Amino acid sequence: MSKKIFSGVQPSGNLHLGNYLGAIKNFVELQNVKENQCIFCVVDLHAITVKQEPKELKKNIRETAATFIACGIDPTKSIIFNQSMVSAHSEAAWILSCVSRIGWLNRMTQFKEKAGKDKEKASIGLYSYPVLMAADILLYDATHVPVGDDQKQHLELCRDIAQKFNNDFNVQNFLKVPEPLIQKQFSRIMSLKDGMKKMSKSDASDLSRINLTDSKEEISNKVKKAKTDTLPLPENVEALVERPEAENLLGIYASLKNQNLENSINEFKKQNFSEFKKKLSDALTEKIEPISKEIKRLLNDEKYLDSILLAGSDKADKIASKKIKEMKELVGF
């Protein structure tokens, strides 16, 4: 069955291995199924929910587009564009925020994590972020949304918002209720410094993540310094309980090698971490180094990147402007 795929990545700098293994790798696989129609968005409106330096943001928008292409997203097969170029996203987000309930948003754990203790000082945008995400998806009648495990709750909210809009305006199936596509294994890559925390762009320590622009030397240094425990590598999956760092590193290795966790465990069982880390470093370098080189090459060609985003925005706008027009009519505008 053909799928309509929509997903987005924030241009907030430092795109990392978690973004790749949890999301972008999957984007490429979906794009390569001939029947699928894929739209991949650089979600710059989402990025400004926390303060961004304007020049840095501009650079990061191009870098995210370059990362998509360097990882294998082909602009002749998929639409690549940035969200702020298609005004329907902001308009639909407003309409849907009037349909969404405060109680629903209060349950979102990502807001609690990102706003931290001082939530009074967080932006309203950070709080209503999942409504904008729902608008992004619903404007394109997306049937499937590939995301990391951390976005599952937002997708469930998107489904609730779609159903409420359809009920409120008595239009069954007008907004299509999308399905999440979350990989069963390795859907959450954890920090190299703390196996209980997800790998994240905003972590103050660069040693916590493998950036997609890291060189071979940087990768090797980060893997050497990655946190481990004092035991040898386990003999089976059960022995990984309460060993989050070992589980994360073995999971990363398995994901890079397209194998399951059991295979990785068998390959390294009872060995010490130093041998395993060498192999992990090699596997990471093999995957990341070509991506990193290609990102850097593409970043030297701003004209090309801008032309991709412009052409993609035109295509996206054709789809989204039709949907927002229909939405406005339903609302009574």
Q: How far apart are CA 259 and CA 248, in angstroms?
A: 14
Catalytic residue among 164, 201, 257, 328: 201
Length of the chain as a residue count: 333
Contact 9, 19 (CB under 8 A): yes
Establish if 151 lies at the interface with ligand AQP (CB under 6 A).
yes
Candidates 15-23, 246-254, 280-288, 301-309: pick the segment binding ligand AQP (CB under 6 A): 15-23
Q: Cα 238 vs. chain centroid, distance in angstroms? A: 29
23 binds ligand AQP (CB under 6 A): yes
Question: For residue 31, what are its two tokens?
Answer: 């794009």
Element (H, E) at 146: strand 144-146
Q: 59, 77, 114, 193: which one is catalytic?
A: 114
Catalytic residue among 25, 198, 277, 287: 198
Residue nearest to ligand AQP (CB): 22
Q: Are 29 and 159 in contact (CB under 8 A)?
A: no
For residue 214, give the 3-state DSSP assignment. coil
Applying CB under 6 A, does 12 fall inside the site for ligand AQP? yes
Region near ligand AQP per CB under 6 A, out of 29-37, 182-190, 255-263, 310-318: 182-190
Binding residue for ligand AQP (CB under 6 A) from 200, 211, 264, 292?
Answer: 200
Q: Decide: is 148 part of the binding site for ligand AQP (CB under 6 A).
A: yes
Q: Is 224 a catalytic residue?
A: no
> Segment near ligand AQP (CB under 6 A), from 96-104, 143-151, 300-308, 312-320?
143-151
Nearer to ligand AQP, 27 or 276 (CB): 27
Integer Cα distance of 6 and 296 in angstroms? 26
Work out which of 19, 83, 128, 313 binds ligand AQP, going by CB under 6 A.
19
| Nearest CA-CA partner of 159 in 120, 196, 130 | 130
Spatial CA neighbour of 48 closest among 17, 83, 98: 83
Does residue number 188 form part of the binding site for ligand AQP (CB under 6 A)? yes
Closest approach, Cβ 19 to ligand AQP, in A, equals 4
The yes-or-no answer on residue 322 being catalytic is no
Half-sphere exposure of 177 (CA within 13 A, CB side): 14
Question: What 3-state DSSP class applies to 47?
Answer: helix
Is residue 189 part of the contact set for ligand AQP (CB under 6 A)? yes
Nearest residue to 78 (alpha-carbon basis) of 250, 236, 234, 312: 312
198 is catalytic: yes
Question: Which residue numbers are catalytic?
Answer: 114, 198, 201
Q: Which residues bind ligand AQP (CB under 6 A)?
A: 9-10, 12, 18-19, 22-23, 147-148, 150-151, 187-189, 198-202
